[in-house]
Structure 1
Amino acid sequence: MNDRGDETMAHADLPRLENRVTFLTHRINARLQQVSLPVISPHGMDLYSSRILFALDQNGPMKVGQLVELMALPQSTISHQLKRMEKSGLIRRTRSDQDNRSVEVSQTEAGIKVTRICTALSDAVTERLNAAFAPGEMQALIEGLNRVFEALGDLPSLEARCEELIAEG
């Protein structure tokens, strides 16, 4: 059997692209963009900035590091986003009195007004999803997605596994 045949057999038990969690999460995010941007973009928002405002609304002022952790995005991406939001007058960044290296992010009055739009959008999406699933199913979905997030946290082992698969190839 040739190398191409071996590769096909090795992957026969894996789901097709459209049934892989990685592709499905991509599609879900793309759909969220489709339904969200018409609502939030007239206010100078994208999904990242709307999620940041929603996080600040739920948690109160947060340190930049807390937002990085919560959003699971690189520090540079969050910093760029916060700079843009501050320039738009939606948030303010202030140095901590206790630790000059730490920056705290909070909403401005304008940010609080725009947050109402973000909250209404999030509530509408949540209501739609809750209507599509039985309560137990929704809880299982949430738990499953959290497990996916945790499972992907061990990047060094994933990198090693990719190298193994390529070598086997």
Structure 2
Amino acid sequence: MTASDGGECQVLDPLRLDLQLCFALYSASNQMTRLYRPLLQPLGLTYLQYLALLALWERAPLSFGDISRRLGLDSGTLTPLFKRMEAAGLITRTRDRADERRVTIDLTAKGRDLRARAVAVPPAVLGQIPMPFEQIAALKVTVEKLVSALRAAEGA
């Protein structure tokens, strides 16, 4: 990469923070999480709990492994998360009688009912992002392609 500065051309340092894709994605992720926090607080949810509930609201019950794959999170992150959600009365965790290693996560009535209040969160988030919806939608598609390519590279 080069930069022109008064007619001079110089090579940019490849380790500059502002040139790193990883840092741009990390910063965007942190900002999005901060944007969600005040919207989720009245629901009594953390951002990760919200993500887990989104998966469960689509189709519950789900196995622990299914949620892990959907969210890209390991058991070290999900186990304490599910324990807190169970203690809050949002989900149940049940061991499969046929296979004790398999745990099924299901919504309680309280967890299902919370969906009606959470439906206001996505439009509230979008309303705070000063970009046209079309750009946001295109960015989402691009990021999904990046995630898919990174997963493929990881498995290669």
TM-score (norm 1): 0.70
Superposition map of 1:6-17 within 5 A = 12=12, 14=14, 16-17=16-17
Superposition map of 1:17-32 within 5 A = 17-32=17-32
Deviates most, 13-22 or 50-59: 13-22
Amino acid in the other structure paired with 2:149: R
CA contact (8 A) 2:92 2:106 kept: yes
1:19-71 Cα offsets, whole Å, 9 max, x none, are 42211121122111221110112222111100000001113211111112222
Provide structure 1 residue ranges, at least 5 long, that are not aligned to the other structure.
1-10, 158-169
CA contact (8 A) 2:36 2:125 kept: no
Query: Which of 112, 126, 133 matches 1:131?
Result: 133
Identity among equivalent pairs (%): 23
CA contact (8 A) 1:53 1:118 kept: no
Query: Which of 136, 139, 142 matches 1:140?
Result: 142
Task: Return the structure number with greater helix share.
Answer: 1
Amino acid in the other structure paired with 1:25: L
Task: Return the structure number with greater strand share.
Answer: 2
Kindly report structure 1 stretches of 4+ aligned residues shifted beyond 6 Å. Answer: none
Superposition deviation, residue 134 in structure 1: 7.7
Superposition map of 1:1-169 within 5 A = 12=12, 14=14, 16-125=16-125, 131-133=133-135, 138-151=140-153, 153=154
Number of aligned residues = 144
Provide structure 2 residue ranges, at least 5 long, that are not aligned to the other structure.
1-10
